[in-house]
Amino acid sequence: MKVYSTDKLRNVAFVGHGDAGKTSLVAAMLYASGATEQFGSVDEGTAPTDFDPEEISRKVSMSCAAAFAEWRDHKVNMIDAPGYTNFIGEAAAALHAADAATIVVHGVDGPGVQTEKMWADAEKAGKPVAFVITQLDRDRASFDEVLSQLQQAYGRTVLPVTLPIGAGGALEGVASLITQKAYLPKEGARDVAEADLPGELTDTVAAAREALLEMVAESDDELMNAFLEEGTLTEDQFLAGLRAAMRARTVIPVFAAAAPRLVGVRTLLDALIDFAPSPADMPAVTITLADGGEEQRPVSDDAPLALQVFKTYIDPFAGQISLFKLFAGRITADQQAFNATTETAEKLAGLSCPRGKTGEKVAELHAGDIGFVVKLKNTRTGDTLVADKGHVAHLPPIPFPKPVIAYAVHAASDDDKVAAALQKLAMEDPTLSLDRDRRSHELMLGGLGIDHVRTVMDKLKNRFSLEASLQKPKIPYLETITRKSSSSYRHKKQTGGAGQFAEVHMRVEPLPRGGGFDYSSEIVGGAISRNFWPSIEKGVRQVMESGVIAGYPMVDIKAVIFDGKEHPVDSKDVAFQIAGRQVFKKCVMEAGPVILEPIMKLVVTCPDDCLGDILGDLSRRRGKVQGSDSAGGKTVVRALVPMAEVLEYSATLKSLTQDRGSYTMELDHYDRVPAEIQAELIAQHQPEESED
């Protein structure tokens, strides 16, 4: 296939709320461009970017996937990201690799919870944004109503660039504010017919174009001066201004589309070429060098190589497939590279451009492009690869959300096989975690929600033919202290030969939330030799890991040793470890120990008539409502709720809203549990401690 230079590339993430139509839109763009021979369908399981068996059976995207289209001598890399809460972590990878975000919005349901999150994430990443209102061929679809909701939520800079011609079953095509022409799909064909605007739309298009032109003029001082002097902008000024305004996020374009009928699809492809940035237009990426310094590296073939894997697939036949973004430099097929993260050499074998689960092999790729290679030995999602070990550098990490819930996995037969299979699935999905509980020795599988974890178990069964069950999730409680205290402990043991002796005086004090652990010494005069200080710290860290009052890890504590004694013969490493453990426990018990629980930020979208039930339920769950907004018959409620109270919230919400509600949930902070709950947790720990 043809190799494209950096300025001829467009990398676009398709994100938004679940069921908005992202996968169908990408499938339509691939078909319209001639990239695929068949029109992929989510319902029929043939969508190019939904190829995992679990995605096909559920008709829901669960991981991000890339596919490219060639259009007007450009290459458009489209990254289709999931929109459901339990799989939304994949959208972080899509936005990280893309240079622009297309937020897809349902033409009937309007903006969803994930619409707001994707807008915020794209804004935080500094990525230009466009909205696509799709599914406008559905009954009750309303472009104007959804546009109004977007403008109400995101401001007056949100303006249409295309308008629908007709609505619902009578949808015929789109009208472009750029060309002031109508584009009508031809029955059974990929292309469209260009026609004059319908008479009833002429004034509407003219008014909308004038509003867009004025907003473009507002975005640039020179254009504003020209507009004030001439009363308008030339066509060249208008197009160049719109291109710059979109890239600067001072104009947020909105497009109309209906994927199954190819309405607005070719117009959207044209707009991505004309207005979305190429990688060459993006700011230089911040690279962290081996010595800890930083440099700004341009997206250029001439810059030192820096590529990052943003998605990993484990294929039963091809093995590991690593999807990457080439942030700087150019690469050739089968060249050698160096993984700066794992410090291992790799070969870039099978260099290809992705199209869902398949790809087209290429001889080389230029800076800014997206591709994949196979069978990397020591490379995982998020790793940075460079030219060789003499040019070690690290790209910024992908901001994946952390697992918020963990379940114990009980294997039906071979526990080791289940653990190995789950490890492979965790390689594909960085939002999963897999650990052994230090007390129960159970295999703990963490994820973004119950559906996320259940999907992993289905993959375990269908892909690896292994059976396992899930036990009730365990809340990741933490322990900390609330005040200063100090104490001492003397460890003395005589066993007939060499004895053990250590005495440690310690002070502990609380750190601000998120402060972690700080260990220091105020010893002067050699009361305890410096070489024993790390031994004391090791003992303290052992207690930090296992907790003092309820067996949970400890956080936000400063431990200071300020005095002690040692023996010239009997003092040794193990003695000071034991003394460090015991004095730390004594200090903690006198420092007001408390248990912290994870508090989740819950954003619930529900019909207005269900609001009272939602608020009452949140109150019963110890929730604190932070605010709410209402638009288009829906209310968005933001609340802080303890994780322990919302483990099975999806079932409750479904019942309260007759399955018309949705929610997102992410960790917000940790806070003290109520006294009665702390007492229960401590009591539960006592039998386990006795057994241990």
The model's pLDDT over 590-626, given as tens digits with 9 standing for 90+, comes to 999 999 999 999 999 888 999 999 999 999 999 999 9
Residues 465 and 585 in one domain: no
The pLDDT of residue 304 is above 50: yes
Question: What average pLDDT does this structure show over 317-321?
Answer: 89
Give the Cα separation of 230 and 38 in Å (integer): 49
Task: Decide: 175 and 197 in contact? Cβ < 8 Å.
Answer: yes
Whether 271 and 166 map to the same domain: the answer is yes
Are 209 and 315 contained in the same domain?
no
CB 454 within 8 A of CB 424: no
Q: How many residues does the chain have?
A: 692
Residue 253 in domain: yes
CATH of the domain at 230: 3.40.50.300
Nearest to residue 434, comparing CAs of 451, 450, 422? 422
Domain that holds residue 168: 6-281
Question: What distance in Å separates the CA atoms of residue 455 and residue 53, rounded to the nearest whole number?
Answer: 11
Q: Are residues 22 and 113 in the same domain?
A: yes
Confidence band for 116, pLDDT divided at 50, 70 and 90: confident
Is 685 inside any structural domain? no
Is the domain of 161 the same as that of 310? no
Looking at the predicted structure, is the pLDDT value of residue 687 above 70? no
Average pLDDT, the chain: 93
**Is residue 687 in some structural domain?**
no
Q: Which two tokens stand for residue 161?
A: 């660039």
Whether 245 and 380 map to the same domain: the answer is no
Instruction: Please give the average per-residue pLDDT across 510-523, as a whole number.
Output: 94
Confidence of residue 375 (pLDDT cuts 50, 70, 90): very high
User: Among 473, 492, 525, which residue terminates a domain?
Assistant: 473
Please give the Cα distance from 51 to 56 (Å, whole number): 7
What CATH number has the domain bearing residue 309? 2.40.30.10
Q: What is the Cα 236 distance to its own chain's centre?
A: 38
CATH of the domain at 423: 3.30.70.870
Output the pLDDT for position 382: 96
> Of 394, 416, 444, which residue sits at a domain end?
394
Q: What is the pLDDT of residues 38-85, one digit of tens each?
A: 999 999 999 999 999 999 999 999 999 999 999 999 999 999 999 987
Residues 603 and 545 in one domain: no
| Residue 459 shares a structural domain with residue 361 | no
> Does residue 58 form part of some domain?
yes
In a domain, 684, yes or no: no
Inform me whether the pLDDT recorded for 378 exceeds 70.
yes
Structure tokens at 596: 């912290």
Mean pLDDT computed over 8-37: 96
Dump pLDDT digits (tens) for 662-673.
787 888 999 999
CA distances from 298 to 212, 331, 368, 391, 645 (A): 32, 16, 10, 16, 47
Query: Number of structural domains, the chain?
Result: 5
Give the pLDDT band of residue 441 (cuts 50, 70, 90). Answer: confident
| Complete DSSP assignment for 380-415 | -TT-EEESSGGG-EEPPPP-PPPP-EEEEEEESS-H
At residue 674, does pLDDT exceed 60? yes
Confidence (pLDDT) at 402: 80
3-12, 102-111, 175-184, 221-230: which has the minimum mean pLDDT? 221-230
Structural element, H or E, at residue 599: strand 594-607
Residues 365 and 453 in one domain: no
**Tens of pLDDT, residues 82-95:** 998 788 889 999 99
In a domain, 692, yes or no: no
Residue 661: the pLDDT is 80
CB burial string 419-457: b at 16+ within 10 A, e below: bebbeebbbbbbbbebeeeeeeebbbbbbbbbbbbebbb
| Domain-ending residue, one of 345, 374, 394 | 394
Based on DSSP, count helices (H) and strands (E) in the chain, helices before strands: 16, 37
pLDDT at 692 over 60: no
pLDDT tops 80 at residue 219: yes
Co-location of 176 and 258 in the same domain: yes
Q: What is the CATH number of the domain that holds 505?
A: 3.30.230.10
Residues 235, 137 share a domain? yes
Distance CA 619, CA 600 (A): 14
3-state secondary structure at position 588: helix
Q: Which pLDDT value is given to residue 686?
A: 76
* Residue 690 lies inside a defined structural domain of this protein: no
For residue 367, the SS3 value is coil
The percentage of the chain sitting over the pLDDT mark of 90, rounded to a whole number, equals 81
Does residue 1 fall inside a structural domain?
A: no
Is the per-residue pLDDT at 691 higher than 50? no
SS3 427: helix
Residues 567 and 623 in one domain: no
Q: What integer is the mean pLDDT of 266-273?
A: 97
